Amino acid sequence: MAVSGVLGKRNLDRLEVRLELAEELYDGLPTLVGVTLKNGRGRLPACLIEVLLNDGEARVLFPILPARQGDTGQVAMTFRGRGNRPLPGITVRSIFPINFFRRYKTLPPQGQMTVFPAPRKCPPPLSPGGKTRHGEQESGIRGSEGDVERIHDYREGDPLKLIHWKLSAKHDTFKVKDLAATTRDPLWVDPAHCPGGNLEERLR
């Protein structure tokens, strides 16, 4: 029992755990969380290491991890409540070597995460005239993708792709197209005008 206790304690030494979250997390929707475990010991492997998140809500087992190496597992988790929240609590546990003792240590939270409201389907936004608007509009400034606004003589620095070859063949100089830039109307979302019975529903 003494040998088992010593080996079990050393099995948890110099282990580093890092969580990898998705870029966007939504309230109440399952998402995959990456759990990376690194063994910082010089010679001894880490055996039967179990990483628990949020007091056992999710767990990942690493059967054996060689010295100076790391491994990554994934587990599905569901976060409740929108806003800035601390990262899940981490507990590293092991029954090594022969399950006489179950040793564990708790690691402090590594930072914060942002949980967005759960998305809900809603009608597309309407223009002031009451119709849904799509597509682009000309902005009135010079660009490279819109309609042709005018033709001018070639100037140093004009892109070759804008040369009007057919028109240039009829003149002594190259003719270049001036194109209008395109833009999209900005979309303003006012939660007070979104469908829903309360603020949480409108944010969704």
pLDDT top residue among 4 and 33: 33
Q: What is the pLDDT of residue 102?
A: 80
Range name among 77-86, 123-132, 149-158, 191-200 with the lowest pLDDT average: 123-132
Higher pLDDT, 129 or 26: 26
pLDDT bucket at 152, cuts 50 / 70 / 90: confident
pTM listed for this prediction:
0.62
Which range has the worst mean pLDDT, 10-14, 92-96, 146-150? 146-150
DSSP, collapsed to helix, strand or coil, labels residue 3 as helix
**DSSP code, position 96:** T
Quickly count: other Cβ atoms within 10 Å of residue 41's Cβ: 16
pLDDT in tens, 28-79: 999 999 999 999 988 889 998 999 998 888 899 999 999 999 999 999 999 9
DSSP state letters, 104-167: EEEEPP--EEEEEPPP---PPP--TTSS---S-EEEEEEEEEEEEEEEEE--TT--GGGB-HHH
Residue tagged 């979309």 (tokens):
187
For the chain, how far is it from start to end, CA to CA, in angstroms? 55
For the chain, what is the mean pLDDT? 81
* 185: pLDDT strictly greater than 50: yes
Per-residue tokens: 124: 């597309």
